[in-house]
Structure 1
């Protein structure tokens, strides 16, 4: 390469680097597979091709991430649809895409637990980081679908990921709702047993949503559109590149690749291609707010999300 050609190439590379906009995204946990698609997009250069330098930060739960978003430390974040309750209470962010409709969570119990069937879950205690979380809602919804009173299962809050698992192992709670791949890993270690998958009982649930701050919607709408376009391009990549996807998700979550592979097909099937918000899932989310006593009445769900930044299909 000639000196002139090298300088031209170096200048082009510098200009491309300078053109990339830093876009900060949060996720509440490291061990959930759905959040790890963010890192997959970064590793594959998909966000970069859309002019974004995406920086992913993991927080100790959704509440910490919400604080960071409200403080202007993030442009966007991923959480379950129940996170929309924060918007209903006045938080300065809104749902901008539904990343997964349905759930890839499983119910686990201690390996030597007396609980052997769904019926045995009546009267049990579960743990969750906070009430309006997937771990808090899924057991309640399961109870309602069984025709039980919602109080037939108790939720002990204030227990994120690792703390909740410790509570289960020591017998301080009876059951726990967690990511299916993590459930597989714990079951293989012999400490817990998978009782059931929640997917067939709770089909209308926003397992993963993308939220954007009011500020980025107002001041950087084109970058937000580029981020969402790149995210769904990442999901499309994952559908057609299983080996690369499994390897990336395993490294990001710290879970065995074999267990990621076991849940790959059902996870990919539930990941959205468009980011749209199904009406049935919106109604189920509104119901959850009231059942969990997060809100006194169902909110106007249309005020809690927008599809204005989704890519055209």
Structure 2
């Protein structure tokens, strides 16, 4: 998979800003691990998208330092690059969508999810993911996608499986939808021009598409499952075996960062400026994902079942293998 939710184009200059941001932190509380000079250096593979705002916020506010960690955030184009880098120890932790993690686990890679990344909002018509079509397409709902072309950023992943799921639920034939691969930034214009009949888009490109005249006909994440777990933070079995204290510290820190992001939505939006190039007007109105610290087996099982039903996996995936 070449792309995973590439929600913003990051230039070389922005990458330099991001690198600087990765080392920012507030003063550590007296008596904390960082105050005693006992920080453990860890590298986390991330993608320059809105989904990872909490970890940047956690670095900037000193949450990770408080837990004794000196975090370096390394940019990658997608989970396809992050997964093997965590498996071989290049990164101690990483961020990837759940489908990619399930695929890796089904192929025998020794990985474990340590915390959620982000969830759907649970609000139809008000989610950070949606299927859009042009105003004159005549497509009024998910069932209308039968026989149509729908753009997704990567084939056989969470986009097309959730679109198939909502078409199925609406009484249409999920196998009669033609998916084409396209980058998110190109989708709004492709929909408005009629190059494709519809597109699965995520923020900030969802807001851009609507601004250009597209209509949201399905909140595919929410309609698939109101609590859909989209992505997660993970590590390797080897890391857990060799340095369980660091894994525990990272898990506690990212959970705290997720909670902080939820409680401070304005700060969460503002941190996007440090590692993305989203238009300020779009950033102020677009829908953010839901962030929460809780991780449970059913969250992974939903995506695993979708993948099996719609041909992503040939055999059932044991989701417990991904849980520590």
Q: Same fold (TM over 0.5)?
A: yes
Q: 1:186 to 1:130 in 2, by over 3 A?
A: closer
1:131-190 CA-to-partner distances (Å, cap 9, x unmatched) read 343223221111121122221222234x444455675566443322222443113432x2
Higher Cα Rg, which structure:
1
Q: Does 1:273 align with 2:296?
A: no
Change (3 A) 1:201 1:285: same
Counterpart of 2:68 in structure 1 is 51
> C-alpha offsets along residues 259-285 of structure 1, whole Å, 9 cap, x if unaligned?
444456x73xx32233x2152x33322
* 1:176 maps onto 2:196 in alignment: no
Where does structure 1 lack aligned partners over 5 or more consecutive residues? Answer: 1-11, 307-313
CA 1:242–1:200: 2 relative to 1, 3 Å = closer
What is aligned with 2:220? 198
Task: Name the residue aligned to 1:289.
Answer: 307
Shift of the 46–257 alpha-carbon distance from structure 1 to 2, 3 Å rule, reads farther
Q: Per-residue CA shift, 1:180-211, capped at 9, x if unaligned? A: 443113432x2644333234412252212112
Q: Tell me how far apart the structure 1 counterparts of residues 239 and 187 of structure 2 sit (CA, whole Å).
A: 34
Q: Distance in 1 between matches of 2:159 and 2:224?
A: 13
In structure 1, how many angstroms separate the alpha carbons of the residues matched to 2:140 and 2:36? 56
More helix by share: 1
Change (3 A) 1:67 1:290: same
Q: Aligned match of 2:158 in 134, 137, 141?
A: 134
TM-score of the pair, normalised by structure 2? 0.76
Counterparts of 1:156-305 in structure 2, within 5 Å, are: 156-157=180-181, 159-162=182-185, 168=191, 171-188=194-211, 190=212, 192-203=214-225, 204-263=227-286, 267=289, 270-274=290-294, 276-279=295-298, 281-305=299-323
Does the 8 Å contact 2:113/2:235 carry over to 1? Answer: yes
* 2:130 pairs with 1:106: yes
Q: From the superposition, tell whether residues 132 and 215 of structure 1 become closer, same or farther in structure 2 (CA, over 3 Å).
A: farther
Q: Please, which of 80, 83, 90 is the counterpart of residue 73 of structure 1? A: 90
**C-alpha displacement at 1:257, in angstroms?**
4.6
Which ranges of structure 2 fall in alignment gaps of 5 or more residues? 1-30, 122-127
The Cα shift of 1:248 comes to 1.0
Q: CA deviation at 1:114?
A: 4.4
